[in-house]
Structure 1
Amino acid sequence: MIIVGQSTLPIHDFAEVIFNHQQITLDPTALDKVQVNYNFLQKFSSNKLIYGINTGFGPMAQYKISDDSLLQLQYNLIRSHSSGSGNLLPAHLVKALMVARLNSFMQARSGIHPDLVHLLVDLINKNIAPCIFEHGGVGASGDLVQLAHLGLVLIGEGEVIFGGVVRPTAEVFAEQNVKALTIHGREGLAIINGTSAMTGIGMTNVIRAQKLLDWSVMLSSMVNEIVEAYDDHFSYELNIVKRHRGQNEIGAQMREILKDSKLIRDRSEHLYNPDNLDQEVFEDKVQEYYSLRCVTQILGPIYDTIQQAGEVLENELNSVNDNPVIDHENNNVFHGGNFHGDYVSLEMDKLKIAITKLSMLSERQLNYLLNQKLNQKFPPFVNLGVLGLNFGMQGVQFTAVSTVAENQTLSFPMYVHSIPNNNDNQDMVSMGCNAALMTKKVIDNSFEVLTIQLMTIVQAIEYMGCQDKLSSASASVYNQVREIFPAFIADVPQYKTQKKIKDFLETAGSFTPAQAS
């Protein structure tokens, strides 16, 4: 059971809820503070003009709302902003959004009634996902449109995804004994005024990006292994003189993965041996291609980028991203812009650029294995059949190249794409949810590219017949993949196998050193 509100919600606990279906509960002390915060606002707001309580919203804030219309104002806000379009967010991303919104509310600075947090817990634990659309939010007053669709379900309207099926909210609530929210004060504004859509999606991006990086290190190590590369480019001595944490972490992982390999070569035994110097032209490469030799330098910055993104997203997850901020401890209400999503937007742009580079490295390593003129070791396209009659991995290479090209185009930043709107009240916007969704697409694509690379690696191992010389980590991956992807000689459609291996990459334990050996 994951406790929300006890302290900060770390990325590990967040992942347990989203990917491992852990149930959540609320910390009683934090829940008491939510009640205190609500009571304070009720008392403080009398005889004062406070944005979103007795005023209109955005550029309409100049209009005072009569006392008999205050609650209707909140319902109007939710309904009017439920205007999303495009594809529905997958249920696990909606759960991530709800966990992020709940965690912000549990900071007790939003002036909301405790009924709201109890309802969110109920939806999360029962896997009831409001229907929320990809398109709508500009990430300035938070994710207004996406969160409005959350609000629509919370008040018992709209539709939800339950059991994989889209159904009317009222029907599912009645079936699951869920009580819809009754607005008490400013719950409408509190629900939609925050960065929880971009943050929830962004947190899942960071988690999946880390798994991609783990696999990229694993597959890069296996490629170096099967081409019998030299070991000095991932050695401690070479990497330690470059003072970047990421590079040295990647080097350490590669050394751990390959520590018992019988294929990796020691340069001193080959090129530093005087007995091997009586040639004018060496058949063996003195140095490997950059996609093999510079893995630590390429994946190192990606490691650092993921770490930075994780820190920023975790900070956002545990922040108050509402407006105004209801501060019962200082007996005041502060108006500002904590709902602005620039922190998330910028990190998502950096992350998607980093993951695009990861997919480019994968594609270049794939190309090396498939091009016999480069590797001088395998048949064209690692074809185990009759050359000319059979095609090996030729067909799937097109898919990998096409997908990497899409990643490269998607890598143009959203962070600098501000477009003023809302009668120019929102004259600088973050486009944070767009940035997070585009990063998700790049990550999805990259799993597809690594799938094709992994298929090619195991076919190359089959051709070499070197299974007994692999490191124990590489052999473990090889054996698991062969259970779902038998060696093939005759040409067969591969698209169903690609889906199985992509699912394996997404769900299998990551092969970081502690798990690989």
Structure 2
Amino acid sequence: MTAVGGRTLSLEDFSNIIFNESIIDLEASALENVEKNYQFLKQFSTEKVIYGINTGFGPMAQYRVGEDKALQLQYNLIRSHCSGSGKLLSPVLSKALMVARLNSLMQGYSGIHKETVELLTTLINKNITPCIYEHGGVGASGDLVQLAHLGLMLIGEGDVNYKEKVQPAAEVFSQLGIKPLTIHIREGLAILNGTSAMTGIGMLNIIQAKKLLDWLIILSAITNEVVGAFSDHFSHELNIVKHHKGQNWVAAAMRTVLKDSKMIRSRNEHLYEADHVKQQEVFEDKVQEYYSLRCVTQILGPIYDTIAHAEKIVTDELNSVNDNPVVDHHNQNIFHGGNFHGDYVALEMDKLRTAITKLSMLSERQLNYLLNDKLNQKFPPFLNLGVLGFNFGMQGMQFTATSTVAENQSLSFPMYVHSIPNNNDNQDIVSMGCNAALFTKKVIDNSFEVLAIQMMTVLQAVDYLNCDHLMSSKTKAVYTAIRKIFPKFVEDAPKYKDLEKVKNYFEKSDPLAFINSGSTIPATIPVIE
């Protein structure tokens, strides 16, 4: 069970609700605070002009709305903004949006009746999610369109995802005895006017980005093993003189993964002290590996730091009040402003997307090194374990990896600087935060594909060398686990189903289970202080 309200909701809490279906329990004192906030608004709003309660919205705020139409105004707002298009968000993304909105409303500054948060909690706990479309929000009066579709579900209209099926909300509510939300004062505006779509999706992006980083550390370790790389490039001594937390964390993780490998070489033993090398004028062995092998800590280190910073910023947003106006019963006032603006999340998603694109580029370069016999001078072309010229090995898979990385590169243009004024120029500079979060999710999904292809390739390399008994205990465990779902192949056969299996394994499994077994590497990427 996960308590919501009265405490900071962490990334781990968020993950438990979304992926482990931890039941939400609303903290009693926080729920009482929500009720006090509502009662204050009810009293304070009498005979005062307050945006979105007795006025229109946005550029039409100069028009007064009569008391007899105030509640209908909220319904009009929800229904009119249900204008999304494109693909439906997956139920997981919609649930993430719901958790983010619930946590913001539970801060007790939105002037809502407690019925709103109680209904949201019921729906989350029963895995009933709204049908929300990817297109619509500009991320600066909040994720208005996406959250309008949440509001539509709450009032018992529109469609929902329930038990893996799209159904009318009214039918599901009736079937389960769920009472739709009643508008009391400003519930419509409070639901729509926030950053919860970009924030919920952003939190999921961070969870999956961590997995990608950990998997590529493992893949980089195995790749270094099969090519017999030197140990000094991930050594403590080399990395500690560069004062970046991420670089040193990655180096420590690689040392942990490769601790008992019999394939990683010592420069002292093979170059400095080797008699046969001292007599050579032209060295048969490379003195230094290619950058994609030698610079792993320097490339993945900034990605670590980017993920850690994104976790801090987006978690702060998750636990923030991000609608407008702010109903402050503690100071007995209502404050108008722009806490719905999504620039914090948009910028972090752009940075994260760029970092994950770079991660996929490193994976593709390591893959290329393994497949190009002229570079590695160790493996057959395309790690073809069959007859050269007759069989093709991983040749076809490389095309998929290369084109997918190219798509990531194109998707990495920042949304943060892509503002288009709208809403009669009331929203004259916007964040496009939901677009940024969705593009980042696409890049993350793509990167799982690229890493899966690299994993399929390194396993073929291990079998070509027949060296699994020389691998470290941790990389051997990974080899064994993946070979159960992707067996060694010699003859050509379609690989798209194998790719999907390995990708799904990467997305759903915890790579830290391999890294951390018997080690002191932290179980999660720490937040930057």
Class of the TM-score when normalised by the shorter of the 2 chains: over 0.9
Q: Distance in 2 between matches of 1:255 and 1:491?
A: 36
Q: Distance in 2 between matches of 1:214 and 1:353?
A: 17
Structure-2 residue corresponding to 1:239? 239
Please state if 1:475 is matched with 2:514: no
- The code of the aligned residue for 2:458 comes to I
Structure-2 residue corresponding to 1:323? 324
1:274: Cα distance to partner? 5.1
User: Does the CA-based 8 Å contact 1:257-1:516 persist in structure 2?
Assistant: no
Q: Distance in 2 between matches of 1:235 and 1:17?
A: 38
In percent, how many aligned pairs have the same letter? 68
- The code of the aligned residue for 2:270 comes to H
Q: Distance in 2 between matches of 1:160 and 1:142?
A: 22
Deviations 1:368-395 (A, max 9, x none): 0000010011100000000011000000
* 1:300-339 map, 5 Å: 300-339=301-340
Structure-2 residue corresponding to 1:500? 501
User: Equivalent residue of 1:87, what SS?
Assistant: strand
- RMSD across aligned positions (CA): 0.8
Structure-1 residue corresponding to 2:384? 383
Q: Distance in 1 between matches of 2:457 and 2:6?
A: 47
* 1:89-488 map, 5 Å: 89-273=89-273, 275=275, 276-488=277-489
Q: Distance in 1 between matches of 2:413 and 2:347?
A: 12
Q: Distance in 1 between matches of 2:274 and 2:307?
A: 45
- The code of the aligned residue for 2:310 comes to A
- The code of the aligned residue for 1:134 comes to E
Structure-2 residue corresponding to 1:19? 19
Q: 1:149 to 1:274 in 2, by over 3 A?
A: closer
Please state if 1:39 is matched with 2:39: yes
User: Equivalent residue of 1:515, what SS?
Assistant: coil
Structure-1 residue corresponding to 2:527? none
User: Does the CA-based 8 Å contact 1:231-1:265 persist in structure 2?
Assistant: yes
TM-score, normalised by the number of residues in structure 1: 0.99
Please state if 1:513 is matched with 2:515: yes
Q: Distance in 2 between matches of 1:6 and 1:40?
A: 19
User: Equivalent residue of 2:224, what SS?
Assistant: helix
Deviations 1:177-205 (A, max 9, x none): 21100101100000000000000000000
User: Equivalent residue of 2:517, what SS?
Assistant: helix
Deviations 1:335-361 (A, max 9, x none): 000000000000000000000000000
User: Does the CA-based 8 Å contact 1:2-1:25 persist in structure 2?
Assistant: yes
4+ residue runs over 3 A deviation: none
1:405: Cα distance to partner? 0.1
User: Does the CA-based 8 Å contact 2:193-2:323 persist in structure 1?
Assistant: yes
User: Does the CA-based 8 Å contact 1:153-1:160 persist in structure 2?
Assistant: yes
1:95: Cα distance to partner? 0.5
User: Does the CA-based 8 Å contact 1:473-1:516 persist in structure 2?
Assistant: no
Q: Distance in 2 between matches of 1:506 and 1:213?
A: 12
Q: Distance in 2 between matches of 1:410 and 1:116?
A: 37
User: Equivalent residue of 1:271, what SS?
Assistant: helix
User: Could you list the runs of 5+ residues in structure 1 that have no partner in the other structure?
Assistant: none
User: Equivalent residue of 1:160, what SS?
Assistant: strand
User: Could you list the runs of 5+ residues in structure 2 that have no partner in the other structure?
Assistant: 520-529
Q: How many pairs does the alignment contain?
A: 517
1:515: Cα distance to partner? 3.4
- The code of the aligned residue for 1:339 comes to F
User: Does the CA-based 8 Å contact 1:228-1:264 persist in structure 2?
Assistant: yes
TM-score, normalised by the number of residues in structure 2: 0.97
Structure-2 residue corresponding to 1:10? 10
- The code of the aligned residue for 1:247 comes to Q
1:470: Cα distance to partner? 0.3
User: Does the CA-based 8 Å contact 1:78-1:149 persist in structure 2?
Assistant: yes
- The code of the aligned residue for 1:334 comes to F
Deviations 1:442-470 (A, max 9, x none): 00000000000000000000000001000
1:23: Cα distance to partner? 1.1
1:270: Cα distance to partner? 1.0
User: Does the CA-based 8 Å contact 2:6-2:107 persist in structure 1?
Assistant: no
